Amino acid sequence: MTPVIVPPKGGRPRPGIAQLKRTLYFLSRNTLAIIGLAIVLFFVVVALFSLFSPLSNQSLQQYCSVTYGTNGTVGCQPVCTYDASSGPAPAANCYPTYSGNVGFVGPTVDLTHLTGGPLPLGSMQVSSGTNQYYYSIYDGLLKGSAWSLGIAATIVLSGASIGLVLGAIAGYRGGYTDEVIMRFTDIFLSIPGILLVLVIVASFAGYVQGLEGRMLLLVGAFIITWWPFYTRIVRGQVLVTREQKYVEASRASGAGTGRILTKHIIPNSLYPVFVQLSLDVGAIPLLLGGLIFLGFQIYPSPYFPEWGAMSANSVANLQSLIESCQFGACVFPWWQILFPGLTVFLFAISVNFLSDGLRDALDPRLRR
């Protein structure tokens, strides 16, 4: 008697695709994750726009030309500046500065800035030595999106790749290799994170020249700090996956180490890595801001448009601003703190929502 059971329509999808569809389904039911995803995508679009749009295609070198003094100090000369309080930009690549003792320009709701008008989000001041620079917050945030996202993505992806490779090797091989790699990882894990970054950047700052050099140093320091976390995660996951029956079956049917690693072990270890990855992407602009707040000159110019830098500079100025405000009536420059801070906060929290949604969607223990 042939069994008469109605199969699901459409045939059976491949397991990988089915898993992906499942994950997306659960993500879509999580409102916070959707909000997070939307905001993150928005920022990504903004970053791409600021990189490729014809309106603001200034590369960093055009903000200022960096000069190095004889004893290691760094200076910055704006290439083309115009006095924004007295008229529109004379050329497309000119950078606005503001003179006069009303150094603070509050926000206006006027989007004509896109074609060279006044500032929609207000201006921000940064001191470098005896120079005061004022620049547009809107401008900075826009260009900063590319920098923040780019730096964060680079650091996290590199760290994750290194961690994936090392963790997979350590977890799969086991034994002596495992011990050696884990001890090595433990050593790096023992040094508290921000400390290691500080130490590396402080020590090697004298070696590097130029914007690229400094950025490489910064990114490199972060990668050196970050890879142990991923190694540990991947190793833990590989240890579990290694014991699964399908790996044993695969080995019994003749698959070599490479094939097993690429086809079974690594794809199954990716999920916690994704979750951690998304969390770290949000945390890095905050850490960069923290470094700047402590006074670190990790960027070539004091008004480098990166979100963390902007919010840190504004907060670092806060105390002196309040003091100076006490001796005479002045406007408390709330926009300098609010807008950069809000941007970083929005980015970090939406990434967090997304990562949380991913974790819930990928957790096999939650009954579905």
Partner 1 sequence: MRMWVYVVRRILLLFPVIIGVMTITFAILSALPIQTHLIATFGASKIPYTPMVPCSDVGQPGNGQCRNPTYFQLVHQLGLDQPIWVQWAEYMKNSLTLNWGTVNYHSNAASAFSLTTSIPVTTVLGWYLPYTLELAALSLIIILAVALPLGNYSAVYRNRPIDQAARVMSFSGFALPGFLLATLVLFAAVILSGGATPTCNSNSTHYFDWYGSWPPFPQCANQPTWIGTYIQTSPTGFPTIDAILHGDWFLAGESVRRMLLPALVIAYGSVAGILRFVRNSMLEVLNLDFIRTARAKGVPETAVVSRHAGRNSLNVTVTVLGLTFAGFIGGFPIIEDVFYLHGVGLLLAKSIQPTQDFGLIFGTTLLFTIIVVVANILVDILYAYLDPRVRLG
Partner 2 sequence: MAAAAPVPAVLPVPPPPPPMAAPASLARSPVAATSADAHRIGNVILDVRNLRTYFFTYDGVVKALDGVSFNIRKGETVGLVGETGCGKSVTAFSITKLIADPPGRIMDGMILYKGSNLLWGIEREAKFKPLKGTNRVKVTRRFRRIRQGQDRMTAVRGGGISMIFQEPTSALNPIFSISDQISEALLLHRGIPIVRGLLDASTHDPATIAARSAAIEEAIAGLVKIARQNDPETLRTAADAFGRAAGLPSLGTQAYYIFRSAWADPEAKVPELRKALRRLHLSGLRENYIRHQSRLLELQNELKLAYMLEMRNGKPETRRRRAISAKRWGSKLRGLGYGVWGVRGYVNKALKEETFWETVALLEGVSIANPVQVARGYPHELSGGMLQRVMIAMALSSEPELLIADEPTTALDVTIQAQILELMRDLKSRIGTAILLITHDLGVIAEVADRVCVMYAGNVVEVAPVKELYRHPLHPYTQGLLNSIPRMDQPDKKLESIPGSVPNLIYPPTGCRFHPRCPFAMPKCKEARPPMTVEGEGHQVACYLYNGPVAKG
Give the closest residue to 75 by CA, choosing from 299, 301, 294, 296. Answer: 301
Residue 151 or 196 with smaller CB distance to partner 1: 196
Q: Tell whether residue 326 is a contact of partner 1 (CB under 8 A).
A: yes
Residues in Cβ contact with 195 at an 8 Å cutoff, skipping those fewer than 6 apart = none
Ranges within 40-79 binding partner 1 (CB under 8 A): 71
Residues in Cβ contact with 291 at an 8 Å cutoff, skipping those fewer than 6 apart = 194, 197, 198, 201, 298, 308, 312
Instruction: Pick the piece of the chain touching partner 1 (CB under 8 A) from 109-117, 123-131, 160-168, 311-319.
Output: 311-319
Q: 71 exposed, middle or buried (CB, 10 Å; 0-12, 13-18, 19+)? A: exposed
CB of 71 to partner 1, least distance (A): 7
Residues in Cβ contact with 134 at an 8 Å cutoff, skipping those fewer than 6 apart = 96, 97, 98, 103, 105, 123, 124, 125, 126
Q: Tell whether residue 130 is a contact of partner 1 (CB under 8 A).
A: no
Q: Tell whether residue 328 is a contact of partner 1 (CB under 8 A).
A: no
**In 3-state terms, what secondary structure has residue 6?**
coil
CB 33 within 8 A of CB 358: yes
Give DSSP secondary structure letters for 336-348.
Answer: HHHHHHHHHHHHH
Residue 41 or 249 with smaller CB distance to partner 1: 41
Residue 26 or 147 with smaller CB distance to partner 2: 26
Ranges within 206-235 binding partner 1 (CB under 8 A): 206-207
CB of 22 to partner 2, least distance (A): 6
CB of 17 to partner 2, least distance (A): 14
Tokens read off for 221 = 């320091």
Q: How far apart are CA 291 and CA 284, in angstroms?
A: 11
Instruction: Pick the piece of the chain touching partner 1 (CB under 8 A) from 105-113, 164-172, 238-246, 281-289.
Output: 281-289
User: Using CA of residue 301, residue 306, residue 311, residue 312, what is the dihedral sign?
Assistant: negative
CB 289 within 8 A of CB 282: no
| Contact map string, positions 101 to 120, toward partner 1, x by CB under 8 A | --------------------
CB of 357 to partner 2, least distance (A): 16
| Contact map string, positions 167 to 206, toward partner 1, x by CB under 8 A | ----------------xx-xxx-xxxxxxx-xxx-xxx-x
Residue 14 or 368 with smaller CB distance to partner 2: 368
CB of 161 to partner 1, least distance (A): 22
* Contact partner at residue 13 from partner 2, partner 1, none, CB < 5 to 8 Å by partner kind: none
Alpha helices for 243-265 (secondary structure H): 245-252, 257-260
- Residues in contact with partner 2 by the rule CB under 8 A: 1-8, 22, 25-26, 367-368
Residue 5 or 329 with smaller CB distance to partner 2: 5
CB of 314 to partner 1, least distance (A): 9
Residues in Cβ contact with 205 at an 8 Å cutoff, skipping those fewer than 6 apart = 214, 217, 297
CB of 31 to partner 2, least distance (A): 15
Residues in Cβ contact with 188 at an 8 Å cutoff, skipping those fewer than 6 apart = 196, 224, 225, 227, 228
Q: How far apart are CA 198 and CA 89, in angstroms?
A: 39
**Which residues sit opposite 76 in a β-bridge?**
66
CB of 361 to partner 2, least distance (A): 11
**In 3-state terms, what secondary structure has residue 317?**
helix
Q: How far apart are CA 166 and CA 162, in angstroms?
A: 6
By CB under 8 A, name the one of 78, 163, 272, 282 that touches partner 1.
282
Residue 264 or 359 with smaller CB distance to partner 2: 359
The binding site for partner 1 (CB under 8 A) comprises: 32, 71, 183-184, 186-188, 190-196, 198-200, 202-204, 206-207, 282-283, 286, 289-290, 293-297, 308, 311-312, 315-316, 318-319, 322-323, 326, 337, 341, 344-345, 347-349, 352-353, 356, 365-366
